[in-house]
Amino acid sequence: SGSLSGGEAQRIRLATQIGSALSGVIYVLDEPSIGLHQRDNEKLISTLVNLKNLGNTVIVVEHDEQTLRTADYIIDMGPGAGILGGEIVAKGALIDILNSKNSLTGQYLSGKFKIDVPSSRRKADKGEILLLGSNKNNLKNIDLSIPLGVFTVITGVSGSGKSTLLNEVLYPALDSRLKLNEKYCDGFKD
């Protein structure tokens, strides 16, 4: 259905595969967790494990830590990107990756390397984008202030309205205002 989020549609397709009880199938997925909330990610991983338990092979390209920790076997590519990549730097079970001196992935997963959270954040003092009465698809007349000049993340479970808010409310509203277009923009009052 056109009203399903990408994550919901993908999970329905995978659930259909589980319901068919096929075995001996090779499933290849490219970053299936992309765009998923953590709760939905857990459901996805459970679905992938169920497919494996039915006697199938599941191969995914993935960066998600929980997926990596759940995998039976990991192939870590690198050592860098582009022309600096193209090699297998580590492979095996999670413990093999964690113990590999060549695996950046393993060093981050083990906690040897980490990305520190900044001690202070940039102040939001450059104004705001104000959306009032956003009411589109599953958005329920929400008012929202988005600060300018900072890194803002919109998160939530699959199907909660994130993409609707961005693609069907915020983008058309900004497009309309920046072009000084007086046409009515569906999905928000002001």
Looking at the structure, give the CATH architecture of the domain made up of residues 6-110. Answer: 3-Layer(aba) Sandwich (3.40)
Cα(173)–Cα(54) distance, rounded to whole angstroms? 47
Cα(164)–Cα(137) distance, rounded to whole angstroms? 7
Torsions phi, psi of 7, nearest 5?
Answer: -65, -40
Token look-up 């999970």 returns 11
Cα(12)–Cα(5) distance, rounded to whole angstroms? 11
pLDDT 10s digits, 6-35: 666 777 888 788 888 889 999 988 888 887
Cα(41)–Cα(27) distance, rounded to whole angstroms? 17
Q: Tell me the pLDDT band of 5, cut-offs 50, 70 and 90.
A: low
> What pLDDT, on a 0 to 100 scale, did the predictor assign at position 4?
65
> What pLDDT, on a 0 to 100 scale, did the predictor assign at position 86?
87
pLDDT 10s digits, 149-172: 888 888 777 778 888 999 999 999
Q: Domain coordinates of the chain in residue numbers?
A: 6-110, 117-190
Q: Tell me the pLDDT band of 189, cut-offs 50, 70 and 90.
A: low
pLDDT 10s digits, 68-119: 999 999 999 999 888 888 899 999 999 999 999 999 999 999 999 998 888 8
Amino acid letter, 2: G
**Helix, coil or strand: residue 171:** helix
- HEC string for 112-134: CCCCCCCCCCCCCCCCEEEEEEE
Are 37 and 155 spatial neighbours (Cβ–Cβ below 8 Å)?
yes
Torsions phi, psi of 112, nearest 5?
Answer: -60, -40
Is residue 120 scored above 70 in pLDDT? yes
> What pLDDT, on a 0 to 100 scale, did the predictor assign at position 9?
74
Q: Where does residue 55 fall: left (phi above 0), alpha (psi -120 to 50 degrees), or beta otherwise?
A: left
Q: Tell me the pLDDT band of 187, cut-offs 50, 70 and 90.
A: low
142 - beta bridge partners? 134
> What pLDDT, on a 0 to 100 scale, did the predictor assign at position 90?
95
77 - beta bridge partners? 88
How far CA 169 is from CA of 1, 127, 144, 163, in Å, comes to 20, 19, 11, 9
